[in-house]
Amino acid sequence: MKKTAMLFLSFLLYTTNSYASNEPSFACDTADLVTEKVICGSRELSALDRKLNELYQAELSKPYVDQNKLQSDQIDWLSLRNKCEYGYDCIRGKIKQRISILDTKHVQAYSWGGKLRAAPSMDSIQVGSIFGKQNIVIIEKTNHVMNGYPWFFIEASNQQAFQWGGLLCDPNQPAASYCLENK
């Protein structure tokens, strides 16, 4: 009897954990919108929704991100996603598109050299420097702009810091960085 009870308890815990891991980032039992119900009925869409939520929450936690703009953009995006209603491919496409917008980490680029800053400002303290044409990894573009170029949070020589977009070349972001090929 004890062995049967343990097996039943193990099965119950396994199915509960398995079910919980298939849930999207919101509670399906309170889902009102058609789009939310479609997401709840799909493991793939639920997994994409969880990934999107992780990226969104990570962005919200960054001190240099304009939280009001990010939240406004998310609300606008949710309105677009919800227009998909029963359209599985439409919902999947909208979620993947939003993920690609939020997941800008690890873009290969290079710097023309210059100072690395502790914050996205020329008034911020210098925390390092890099030489011309040094490869860097762009972790993300900030909302801070100077002379038409945004500041970027980058990694160079195993150090993470900020550098102005006018000193960077990212072929994937020609309008936000300075590449001789684009000028």
Residue 139: CATH number of its domain: 2.30.30.40
Q: Within a domain: residue 13? A: no
Q: Within a domain: residue 1? A: no
Structure tokens at 99: 């993920």
Chosen domain end from 65, 84, 102: 102
Please tell me whether residues 135 and 85 are part of one structural domain: no
Please tell me whether residues 85 and 153 are part of one structural domain: no
Q: Within a domain: residue 160? A: yes
Chosen domain end from 81, 102, 123: 102
* Model confidence pLDDT, tens digit, residues 135-147: 888 888 899 999 9
Can you give the pLDDT at residue 22?
82
d(CA 170, CA 178): 8
Please tell me whether residues 92 and 111 are part of one structural domain: no
What is the span of the domain harbouring residue 61?
Answer: 21-102
Chosen domain end from 102, 127, 161: 102
Q: Within a domain: residue 4? A: no
The confidence band for 14, taking pLDDT boundaries of 50, 70 and 90, is very low
Helices marked H in the chain — which ranges? 2-21, 34-40, 43-60, 67-82, 88-102
Can you give the pLDDT at residue 108?
63
Please tell me whether residues 88 and 36 are part of one structural domain: yes
Q: What percent of the chain has pLDDT over 70?
A: 82
Please tell me whether residues 82 and 129 are part of one structural domain: no
Q: Within a domain: residue 16? A: no
Please tell me whether residues 83 and 150 are part of one structural domain: no
How many domains does the chain contain in total?
Answer: 2
Q: Which residue has 């493991």 as its token pair?
A: 43
Please tell me whether residues 140 and 125 are part of one structural domain: yes
d(CA 115, CA 118): 10
Can you give the pLDDT at residue 78?
95
